[in-house]
Amino acid sequence: MHILDCIGMPCPQPVLRVKEALDAGGTAIEVVVDNEASQNNVARFGRSRGHAVNCRKKGESLYTITITAGDNTTDQTFEADAYSCGLPTSAKMIYVISSDSMGRGSDQLGWALLQTFVQTIKEVRPLPEKIVLYNSGVKLVATESGALEALRQLQAAGVEILACGTCLDFFQLKSAIQVGQISNMLEIMSTMAEADKIVSPF
């Protein structure tokens, strides 16, 4: 068992350490972190690689995540078959919201427009696979508004909501998040890089 002590490491360092260990051939990794956001990010990354993940809380503020390498040959074969014609059978579309205002000019008008934009996402098909929020866009997951309720409905419909943890910290909103998951720059960049289409209101 390879143990990674990631206590005190800022996001996304724990995820990057795990990625390095797995890429180096690690088959059983135990990761120790000191906050729930890092635990969730590491666990989500491990599962995204097709590995078994087990999370445990140690004491008041420590979390242990055990990642055991699994055989994801079946998933790789399925993916190859799905793309055998050279084109994806269904495009991966994500929405990126990087501000709390839509367009330039009046901030008050921009906030109202952005709420309407988010409320309208559920009316357009296909639905996005994920919605990524960063910079002041993260205010949407922590501010009571029509946008917050719309995001809850989208999440219930299977849309993954990812909010930048660093941005939530900057605006002192991490404890106020009401929908979605706290994410990190590695996951945000990977999501954008893997998307077939990115939609943004800016």
pLDDT digits (tens, 9 = 90+) for 96-129: 999 999 998 899 999 999 999 999 998 888 999 9
Q: How many domains does the chain have?
A: 2
Which pLDDT does position 190 carry in this prediction? 93
pLDDT tens digits, 62-109 = 999 999 987 543 333 323 233 233 334 457 899 999 999 999 889 999
Which pLDDT does position 71 carry in this prediction? 53
Q: Are residues 110 and 140 in the same domain?
A: yes
pLDDT tens digits, 8-44 = 988 788 998 999 999 998 889 999 999 988 999 999 9
pLDDT tens digits, 131-156 = 999 999 999 999 888 899 999 999 99
**Which residues form the domain of 102?**
90-199
What is the CATH number for 140?
3.40.1260.10
Secondary structure (3-state) at 176: helix
Q: Are residues 7 and 58 in the same domain?
A: yes
Q: Are residues 107 and 168 in the same domain?
A: yes
Measure the CA dihedral 16/19/23/28, to 10°. Answer: 130
What are the two backbone dihedrals, phi and then psi, of residue 174, each rounded to the nearest 5 degrees?
Answer: -60, -40
What is the CATH number for 30?
3.30.110.40
Task: Quote the tokens at residue 148.
Answer: 């917050």
Please list, residue by residue across 161-186, b when 16 or more beta carbons sit within 10 angstroms of its beta carbon and e when fewer do: bbbbbbbbeeeebbeebebbbbbbbb
- Please name the amino acid found at residue 25: G
Residue spans of alpha helices (H) in 27-137: 36-48, 73-82, 107-121
Q: Are residues 54 and 121 in the same domain?
A: no
Q: Are residues 104 and 144 in the same domain?
A: yes
Q: Are residues 58 and 108 in the same domain?
A: no
